[in-house]
């Protein structure tokens, strides 16, 4: 027997069956069955019931028996309310499916879209709640990126619970992309939005810009304004356009959810500007008297803003791009040619074509006569 062959057969001899299972699990093979995947899809679906914005991510959880039957379901309804796991445990009890002779979830598997939290925030740690409830196994899709909240998997394992992760991880990550990015970078996720002609102009030479895009695109913007925490413009835009920056229905009435309205810049503004009107269900307005984008973003993060939409004008937009602070571009492009000097973006610090920002389209959707384009920076 050659040396190589001998060492290979030795390796085989040392592999016991449980070790083999363990290795296959580590490789992501064989740890999940169809019932687990079905349960995780249900958990992802439940998570969508939660709010898309705010301090906390959308999370869903289901409790299943060893045969895969779902006996409890829950989702997180926003900061300050029960986490998904706790909601699912309460549902288990409400369904009369709890084990009343001992820990209520004895023998059950918890299938959760996010790693159960390990900290006491506004609510208690979910890892502990699952341990107390007696679950036998926990399967989660994606890790909690929070510094204080993560570590739930280790806590569960220390308590003797079987823990596996990575099932439908891509789907779960997409679901919490904005929140997780904001949490990792410790500043809001920034969407830069602008409307533009096909040749990249935002207005004609005389400054007139109403309306470059059609009603469908405008409606999409107003709908998205309800899904973000805050909207930001520079003082120049307030002076030039006097925008209201509310989320409105087609008939002009206010939508139920409104973003915080943020003005960036030191210039003193007319208190009669429409943005300062905070009556009748309009969003609250704050002026950040700074030109330092990083400190503005940190202030907003501390105010609870996780998703910020920057709506211009061109100077502010360009500053965000130039400082690499844009997480996602949202461009409404009209099939119009305007030409002339008023471009959607100004100086990006690109002196040579090799310095151009390289983007990648992630979504392109026709909206009436216009196109909605979502893009991210390549290698982002």
Whether 57 contacts 179, CB under 8 Å: yes
Whether 377 contacts 326, CB under 8 Å: yes
x-marked contacts with Zn ion along 276-295 as a string, rule CB under 5 A: --------------------
First to last CA, the chain: 51
Q: Does 116 bind ligand AOF (CB under 6 A)?
A: yes
Minimal distance in Å, beta carbon 178 to ligand AOF? 13
The catalytic residue among 73, 85, 319, 328 is 85
Out of 46, 104, 126, 342, point to the residue binding ligand AOF (CB under 6 A). Answer: 126
For residue 209, give both structure tokens. Answer: 């810009």
Instruction: Name the segment binding ligand AOF (CB under 6 A); options: 31-39, 81-89, 253-261, 329-337.
Output: 81-89
The string of DSSP letters for 236-291 reads HHHHHH------B-TTSPBPS--PEEEEESSS---TTSGGG---TTPPPEEEE--S
169 given a catalytic annotation: no
Please give the Cα distance from 374 to 364 (Å, whole number). 6
Q: Does 123 bind ligand AOF (CB under 6 A)?
A: yes
Please give the Cα distance from 197 to 194 (Å, whole number). 10
x-marked contacts with Zn ion along 77-96 as a string, rule CB under 5 A: ------x-------------
Minimal distance in Å, beta carbon 136 to Zn ion? 19
For residue 228, give both structure tokens. Answer: 């973000």
What residues from 46 to 65 belong to the interface with ligand AOF (CB under 6 A)? 56-57, 59
Minimal distance in Å, beta carbon 74 to Zn ion? 11
Out of 28, 49, 66, 122, point to the residue binding ligand AOF (CB under 6 A). Answer: 122
Instruction: Name the segment binding Zn ion (CB under 5 A); options: 112-120, 132-140, 201-209, 349-357.
Output: 112-120
Sheet holding 162-165, edge to edge: 70-75, 60-64, 109-114, 137-142, 162-165
Q: Which is nearer to ligand AOF, 120 or 295 (CB)?
A: 120
Residue 103 dihedral angles phi and psi, to the nearest 5°: -55, 135
Any idea which residues carry the catalytic annotation? 85
Q: What residues make contact with ligand AOF under the rule CB under 6 A?
A: 56-57, 59, 76, 79, 83-85, 114, 116-117, 121-123, 126, 144, 146, 149
């Amino acid at each position: 027997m050659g040396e190589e062959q001998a060492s290979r057969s030795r390796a085989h001899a040392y592999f016991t069956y449980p070790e083999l299972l363990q290795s296959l699990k580590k490789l992501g093979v064989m740890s999940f069955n169809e019932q687990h995947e079905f349960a995780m899809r249900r958990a992802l679906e439940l998570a969508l019931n939660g709010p898309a914005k705010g301090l906390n991510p959308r999370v869903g959880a289901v409790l299943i028996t060893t045969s895969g039957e779902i006996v409890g379901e829950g989702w997180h309804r926003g900061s300050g309310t029960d986490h998904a796991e706790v909601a699912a445990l309460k549902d288990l009890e409400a369904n009369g499916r709890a084990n009343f002779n001992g820990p209520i979830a004895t023998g059950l598997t918890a299938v959760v879209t996010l790693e159960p939290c390990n900290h006491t925030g506004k609510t208690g740690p979910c890892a502990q709640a699952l341990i107390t409830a007696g679950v036998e196994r926990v399967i989660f899709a994606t890790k909690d990126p929070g510094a204080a909240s993560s570590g739930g998997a280790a806590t569960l394992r220390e308590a003797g619970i079987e823990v596996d992760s990575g099932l439908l991880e891509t789907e779960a990550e997409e679901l919490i992309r904005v929140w997780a990015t904001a949490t990792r970078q410790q500043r809001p996720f920034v969407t830069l939005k602008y409307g533009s002609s096909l040749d990249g102009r935002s207005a004609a030479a005389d400054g007139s810009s109403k309306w470059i895009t059609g009603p469908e695109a405008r409606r999409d913007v107003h709908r998205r304004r309800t899904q973000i925490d805050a909207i930001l413009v520079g003082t120049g835009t307030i002076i030039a356009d006097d925008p209201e920056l509310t989320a409105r229905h087609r008939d002009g009435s206010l939508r139920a959810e409104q973003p915080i309205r943020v003005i960036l810049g030191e210039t003193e503004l007319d208190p009669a500007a429409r943005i300062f009107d905070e009556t009748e269900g309009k969003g609250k307005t704050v002026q950040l008297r700074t030109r330092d984008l990083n400190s503005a973003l940190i202030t907003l993060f501390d105010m609870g803003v996780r998703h910020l939409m920057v709506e211009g004008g061109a100077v502010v937009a360009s500053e965000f791009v130039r400082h690499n602070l844009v997480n996602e571009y949202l461009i409404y492009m009209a099939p119009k040619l305007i030409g002339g000097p008023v471009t959607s973006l100004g100086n990006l610090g690109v002196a040579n074509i090799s310095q151009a920002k390289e983007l990648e389209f992630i979504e392109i959707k026709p909206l009436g006569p216009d196109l909605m384009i979502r893009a991210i920076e390549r290698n982002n």
